[in-house]
Structure 1
Amino acid sequence: MEAVAPPAVGAPAIRCAGAERDYPAFLERAARIATGLRATGVEPGDRIAVVLRNEPAHLEITAGAALLGACAVPVNWHFRQDELRHVLTDSGSKVVFAHSDLLAGVTAVLPEGVRVVEAAVPAGVAAACGFAAPPPTGAHPLLDSWLAGHPPLDAIVAERPPTVIYSSGTTGRPKGVLREPVAPERLEEAVRLFLEYFAVAPGGRTLIPAPLYHASPSQHAVLALAAGLDITLMPRFDAKEFLRLIEHHRIEQVQVVPTMFVRLLRLPKDVRERYDLSSLTSVVHAAAPCPPHIKHAMIDWLGPVLREYYGGSETGAVTWCDSAEWLAHPGTVGRPRGTGAVAVLGPDGQPLPAGAAGDIYLKPADAWPQFTYLGDPDKRAAMEAPGLPGYVTIGDIGHLDEDGYLYLSDRRNDLVISGGVNIYPAEIEGCLLSLDGVRDAAVFGIPDEEFGEVLAAHVEIEHGVTLGGGEVRAHVAERLAGYKVPRAVVFEERLPRDESGKLFKRQLRDPYWAGHDGAI
């Protein structure tokens, strides 16, 4: 695809796959949605569910619910059967908005009394996702005609509702993170920090390539709307389209995940150099550890515009680092900014010295809302650090260096203990990604009679590449300790990741452990 001359930059808008709304049109549609929800019986404090791919309507529904004092719950549209039933029931949503092609799955598990509004799949969104847009089913009110039948809401509810976002379900059943309402002055502070840390000015241009059902892109979109940014959404991530959009819309700021870096770097060099990316001032990444060689390559390509943060749906961003800090502390995810803080604790609950790996506990910034889990306050209480009020763990292991910079080892759920030795699969996955021809990798523990568990690597290779298990093991053996070499190597056509790069490792791991009950 040849580069296209950028258009003149006009007033900020919200766009996706050929559809575009300026802010006045966006806000009017949101206000009509609010009135429609009220007519449907939704009241302040209620929740609605949004089962849509990325498109402007997703954000309009979210904004419309907020105008009414209700909460829009973004739902992973990949969820099927039990997962979808759990979220729709657990959230207590009164109304569900769903794309036409997703309606059958929604209605099959719809709780009694829940109303449905159908959204036609925009042709550009369907094309970007690789299917033809189906005609509306006609079984439910159609979003565009439904909102057109209601006037804009005449009185905005002043109090913002609690918000709910569900985990991806990569390690178990999706969990609903319930955040307390955000006071206006705290929202103003959150927007100010967003603009500062993401290095973008009010009215600037941002690109959101990850699905809005995940916490980070959802929060990014909400803050970008509050800051009046020009927002371009991608229905799904495609490396060349990502570069084209940056050039075409003169994108200044984007938030990505490390898997997207890998896919971008897999493009031929001449393709990458075809696009003018000089408008970029900030490329923020988070959500997963980034292999150092990948980040070095991205900085070499784009320059010192990379920024990284670490946190979770429950805590928000707590640590930050820019490119200069990372180059001085390779592999770090940054150190706390503002009022946030980090502690690394050992099994006895005591702080560990610099360099020692332990459980990471985060103290969210003061502007971040308190949280709990829907229907599971005990799980929330179990996250708290003994003797450190306000600190919680989101299940990661890592260490601090002498300068207070944090480094991630892995998720505690992914930790492999083989013969009494702790092994962090993320390190081995990063090593595998440095092998020519490897597109993706997942490493995890499988049962072993002698060692308790040993390593298995499931590897996705580039089309047309031939690799054997011996070559994969030899590559790791040359670079890491012998006990980190996978015992089993399995080649997969595609590893189970969603668009944001979240890896459903349990789908690969569970069959090995079936019948073992987690022990040998």
Structure 2
Amino acid sequence: MSHPHAIAENAPDRAAFILDDETLTYGELARRSTYLAGRLSALGCKRGDTVAIMLGNSAEFFIGAWAAQMSGLYFVPISQRLAPPERDYILADSGAKVVLAEDADLPCALVPDQWEDGETAEFERVEGSDMLYTSGTTGRPKGVKRPLSGAPLGSDPRRVKRARDLFGMGADTIFLSPAPLYHAAPLRWAMTVQRLGGTVVALRRFDARAALEALETHRVTHSQWVPTMFSRMLALGAHGPLPTNPASHICAIHAGAPCPPELKRRMIDWWGPILHEYYSGTEAVGFTHIDSHDWLAHPGSVGRAYGSTIHILDDEDNPLPAGETGRVFFESSAGHAYHNAPEKGRSASSRQGYATMGDIGFLDEDGFLTLTDRASFTIISGGANIYPAEIEAGLLANPDIVDCAVFGVPDADMGQVVQAIVELSEYPVDEAERAAEIGEKLSRQVAVNKLPRRIAFVDRVPRLETGKVRKRDLMETYADPARRGHPARISETS
């Protein structure tokens, strides 16, 4: 049986979670989450009900999550940074009976000070589940809600087996999670580590220098990142030598957004061949994996399928052969399960019953998948499909560029043209000249029709904490031609 309460029976003083100078032991996690589960039961929560968790990276976050997980409840992690209308939409849509939060003024709030001071009741000790809301980059977020098994706590071995088989995780794992725990990957990896009896180390918020220090200070063995974090850490090299990767650090896992090949090569050169990449999503309808050695042989790939089968389909759901680009579908035992939105699940399924997470890509002859972009962000310019991820990878091959985003903007002649925003390590004195230089370099890497019409310079590329760019917002902002910046050495009429 893999869960923190079983770990606590044999190793109550082992660290389950570390944040700054705070340590939560397995004994404390088991005791406090059990008490909170009883409090939730006394408040009327029963198997299949939902509680919301509005807490930052903290011991209380894990106590709340395990209280729900051990008592057959769904738990919905919600960012404290959401605007009230966004927050209220999720609370209403999820039907949360209780909100575990620091803000006592929220409806149905139960603040940490009240968790161990009140009536408790018996509860069923069965597996609950997370209920995560998609990021909403392409519309209003929807909750991903899977049926509960009703099995005893510790009965679900899938993520534990994957962590062991692919990444070598176990009771001796010290796992650094520098991202917010309310997102799918940090949450699920961290809770899997705690099922195994390992230690989770977190940051209150991502900071490149603090993350590198944490690797050394805590003798981290495994870590989890998004590509933007790699860019931020590598950028520290402009101010002095980068630290050597600690000998303890043997596995760095990344996902969440496409990783430009040049950026990944720089990380492998720095840390060694310890990078592992996977492709999945909140919906968890499929999973791929690739280690550094296979990636160097198949640069740009996100790996081969694990526990599922990949199908590349055209717009009529016909299968495409190796090398041809189409929509990426997975055939597996999992399917889409969107709360209050069955139509979204149907629209993300093929006629064969396969499921997609909305990406496009191709398989090579060896079964390695390469993603070209999100289907919803494909730029159609003069009737030709242009995939932003390819152009972003070309831009990020320039060591002066810390981050970038490429997207389509309206054009009366071409329908859409390519627009880029760029974040530099140093702000340019002459923006027009710098834009032309960047465009000239990029022209050696991508076809002329893929070059950005214009480049705008920004202090920081706006991203979600998951690493994903809010491209819908950018497309709205830069629909105004006056905001689009400077020509990238390309004719305005080409």
Cα 1:94–1:155, aligned 2, differ >3 Å: closer, same or farther? closer
The reply to whether residue 478 of structure 1 matches residue 441 of structure 2 is no
Alpha-carbon shift at residue 214 of structure 1 (Å): 1.2
Q: Tell me if the contact between 2:15 and 2:25 (Cα under 8 Å) persists in the aligned partners.
A: yes
1:419 aligns to what?
A: 382
1:235 to 201, 204, 211: 204
Structure 1 residue 73, shift from structure 2 partner: 0.5
Question: Is the 1:308–1:333 Cα contact (8 Å) retained in structure 2?
Answer: yes
Q: Whole-Å Cα distance in 2 between the matches of residues 269 and 317 of structure 1?
A: 39
Which residue of structure 2 lines up, in the alignment, with residue 441 of structure 1? Answer: 404
Match of residue 193, structure 2, among 201, 216, 224: 224
In the alignment, residue 163 of structure 1 is paired with which amino acid?
D
- Deviation of 1:198 after TM superposition, in Å, equals 2.2
CA distance in 1, matches of 2:253, 2:38: 36
Which residue does 1:68 correspond to in 2? 71
Distance 1:115 1:60, change over 3 A: same
CA distance in 2: counterparts of 1:353 and 1:230, whole angstroms = 44
Contact conserved, 1:199 with 1:281, CA < 8 A, in 2? no
1:367-386 alignment, distance < 5 Å: 370-386=335-351
Query: Match for 2:45 among 42, 45, 54?
Result: 42
Which position in structure 2 is the counterpart of 1:22? Answer: 25
The residue matched to 1:359 in structure 2 has which SS?
strand
Q: Is the 8 A contact 2:71 2:128 kept in 1?
A: no
Query: In structure 1, how many angstroms separate the alpha carbons of the residues matched to 2:263 and 2:322?
Result: 25
Indicate if the aligned counterparts of 2:278 and 2:288 stay in contact, CA closer than 8 A: yes
Secondary structure of 1:362's aligned partner: strand
Instruction: Kindly state the Cα deviation for residue 272 of structure 1 after the two structures are TM-superposed.
Output: 5.6
Answer yes or no: is the 8 Å Cα contact 1:33–1:64 preserved in 2: yes
* 1:506 maps to 2:472: yes
Q: Secondary structure at the match of 2:319?
A: coil
* Contact 1:343 1:361 (C-alpha < 8 Å) held by counterparts: yes
Shift of 1:232: 0.5
Identity of aligned residues (%): 37
State the distance in 2 between where 1:48 and 1:273 align: 43
Q: Which moved more, 1:326-335 or 1:462-471?
A: 462-471
| Aligned twin of 1:345 | 313
The 1:469–1:189 alpha-carbon spacing in structure 2 relative to 1, beyond 3 Å, is: closer
Q: Output the CA distance in 2 between the equivalents of 1:189 and 1:203.
A: 19
Calculate the aligned-residue CA RMSD, in Å.
Answer: 2.2
Are the counterparts in 2 of residues 199 and 253 from structure 1 also a CA contact under 8 Å? Answer: no
Could you give the per-residue CA deviations for residues 427-460 of structure 1, whole angstroms, max 9, x where no partner exists? 1111112223322111111111111100111112
Q: How does 1:212-291 map to 2 (within 5 A)?
A: 212-268=181-237, 273-274=242-243, 277-291=246-260
Matches within 5 A, 1:96-175: 96-100=99-103, 114-118=107-111, 143-144=112-113, 146-150=114-118, 155=122, 157-175=124-142
Match of 1:93 among 88, 92, 96: 96
Asked whether the equivalents of residues 42 and 121 of structure 2 are also in contact (C-alpha less than 8 Å), the reply is no
Maintained 8 Å contact 2:286/2:331 = no
Quote the Cα distance in structure 2 between the aligned partners of 1:63 and 1:177: 19
**Structure 1 stretches of 5 or more lacking a match?**
1-9, 119-142, 515-520
Which whole-Å deviations, capped at 9, do the CAs of 1:186-240 have from their partners, x for residues lacking one? 6124312222222222232111111112111111122112111111111111111
CA distance in 1, matches of 2:74, 2:322: 42
Output the CA distance in 2 between the equivalents of 1:316 and 1:202: 28
**386, 392, 395: which one aligns with 2:358:** 395
Cα deviations by residue, 1:345-382 (Å, 9 ceiling, x for unpaired): 11221111111100000124x4xx55411111111122
Asked if 2 retains the 8 angstrom alpha-carbon contact of 1:83 and 1:173, the reply is: no
The aligned counterpart of 1:134 is: none
Aligned to 1:320, the other structure's residue is in SS state strand
Match of 2:34 among 10, 31, 36: 31
Q: Secondary structure at the match of 2:160?
A: helix
| Contact 2:228-2:467 within 8 A present in 1 as well | yes
Q: Please give the per-residue CA displacement for 1:18-76, whole angstroms capped at 9, x wherever unaligned.
A: 21111101111111211222222222221111112111111110111223322220012
1:309–1:54 CA distance, 2 compared to 1 (3 A): same
| Kept in 1: contact 2:276–2:292 (CA 8 A) | yes
Tell me how far 1:156 sits from its aligned partner. 5.0
Q: Distance in 2 between matches of 1:463 and 1:435?
A: 13
The alpha-carbon distance between structure 1 residues 193 and 42, as it changes in their structure 2 partners (threshold 3 A), is same
SS of residue in 2 equivalent to 1:410: strand
User: Counterparts of 1:443 and 1:201 in 2: how far apart (Å)?
Assistant: 40
Aligned-pair CA distance for 1:475: 2.2
Q: Describe the SS at the equivalent of 1:29.
A: helix
Cα shift at 1:499: 2.6
- Specify the SS of the correspondent of 1:267: helix
Residues 278-323 of structure 1: per-residue CA shift (max 9 Å, x gap): 1011111111110001111111111111111111111255111111
Task: Answer whether contact 2:38 2:123 (CA < 8 A) is retained.
Answer: no
Unpaired segments ≥5 residues, structure 2: 1-12, 481-494
**TM-score normalised per structure 1:** 0.84
CA pair 443-261 structure 1, distance change in 2 beyond 3 A: same
**Structure 1 residues 453 and 190 mapped into 2: Cα distance closer, same or farther (>3 Å)?**
same
Q: Distance in 2 between matches of 1:448 and 1:154?
A: 63
Q: Give the stretch that moved more between structures: 378-387 or 21-30.
A: 378-387
Which residue of 2 is the match for residue 58 of structure 1? Answer: 61
**Counterpart of 2:455?**
489
Q: What is the aligned partner in structure 2 of residue 133 from structure 1?
A: none
Separation in 1, partners of 2:319, 2:182: 35
Alpha-carbon distance, 1:513 to partner: 4.8
**How many aligned residue pairs are there?**
464
- Shift in CA distance, 99/272, structure 1 to aligned 2, threshold 3 Å: farther
